[in-house]
Amino acid sequence: MSQGARIEGLRGVSFRSRAVYRIVGEIGRGGMGIVFLADRDSENVQDRLVLKTVRTLSREHIDLLRKEANLATRLRHENIVKSYGMESLPLQEVAGKLGLGDANVRALAAEGTDRVYLIAMDYVEGTNLWTLHDAHLKGRLLLPVPIGAFIVSRLCRGLEYAHRWLVHRDVSPGNVLIDHEGVCKLTDFGLAVESEEAVRALAGKYAYMAPEQLRMEVLDGRSDLYATGIVAYEILTGLKPFPIIAREMRQAMRDSLLARARTPPAPHRVRPDIPEALSAIVMKMLQNDRADRYARVGDAGDLIEQRFLYRKGFGPTNNSLAAYLRLFAQGFDKAPAGDLRQLSFFKNALGVVEPRRSCSTEDYTPEGLALAERDGDSTARSILSTQAP
């Protein structure tokens, strides 16, 4: 039998990976990027991950992708999707699939863009907060308050860590992933800027922008805190605090700024099932002047946990969220005993675990229904037309 060889040390050794990637298919796209699911084989060890590239092959967009990779790859936190750096392949190899002729390839090569670059990151198998919230609305339901507050607290934890280096600038429900184990993860750092960057540019989604973001001022972590407050308001009440009607970009920006000058009703005044302590935290996150918000997003996360989630000494965990997701997927039917134990904080006066939270006109105050009238989107119309069973 071979005695083998002892490895004493490899310090200073450089080598190239022999990993082979196979793109399974497209799983999403946004304004600037396309995301693919891919299989990776590295020395006969198989893994599944995500590859993100730009929609436009240009030096400017590739530089933005590289900047995103440099920012995201340094982040290592449970509540942030892990990125592993960049991979690339010759443009010539995929030109046909991209619909590019030889002349296009030569022109791009002359500009220094003769390769397709991709960010490699973890594949989070599960859902995102927008999809989860929308699925509840379609079932005339809302996320239970403790579950919604727990998700927001995890988002605060991820942002608290990320703010050591950057401002995300695109916090929204679609960028909050939730895996099957109940772990919430912030993703998409394509618009992020380093904390010390004095960037004055409009970036993000109008519905979740802070006033200073709409005014194209230099941003800090409190701008992400504001966006997190909008996310919290939306999933707790089912309504947007600042309805946007206009579709044209400049008008939407003006409407958004005007809307933010008007203080929305506090969540507990929209739906009485939202505790006032939690409502007050959300409203401080939504202060128009950033100086009046919490100094750090972590402060909001602390208070959500101390004053609401774990005030009684126990409350939701990742396991609780995973159990709730399974229960919701099964239509709240035949929950295993283990899942019910994870959701014991939902016990009603009869000792029965009942996490369902209805979403009908009877669940809203007159002030809440007035906000729904102003909102005018499909969610608000659905609430206004739904009677309790």
**Catalytic residue annotation:** 170
HSE-CB for 19 with a 13 A CA cutoff: 18
* Residues in Cβ contact with 330 at an 8 Å cutoff, skipping those fewer than 6 apart: none
* Residues in Cβ contact with 202 at an 8 Å cutoff, skipping those fewer than 6 apart: 213, 214, 216, 253
What is each CA distance from 149 to 126, 127, 171, 276, in whole angstroms?
Answer: 19, 17, 16, 13
Q: Which amino acid is at 135?
A: A
DSSP state, residue 241: S
DSSP state, residue 315: -
What gap in Å lies between CA 357 and CA 140, rounded to an integer? Answer: 9
DSSP state, residue 308: I
- State the angle between helix axes of 221-237 and 129-138 in degrees (0 to 180), rounded to the nearest 10: 20
Give backbone dihedrals phi and psi of 133, rounded to 5 degrees, phi first. Answer: -60, -45
What gap in Å lies between CA 324 and CA 207, rounded to an integer? Answer: 28
Tell me whether strands 115-122 and 166-167 are parallel, antiparallel or unpaired.
unpaired
CB 376 within 8 A of CB 243: yes
127: left (phi over 0), alpha (psi -120 to 50) or beta: beta
Q: Name the nearest CA neighbour of 178 among 216, 151, 138, 146.
A: 151
Q: Name the nearest CA neighbour of 97 among 40, 48, 57, 50.
A: 57
Q: Name the nearest CA neighbour of 327 among 206, 147, 172, 196.
A: 147
Residue owning tokens 């299989």:
39
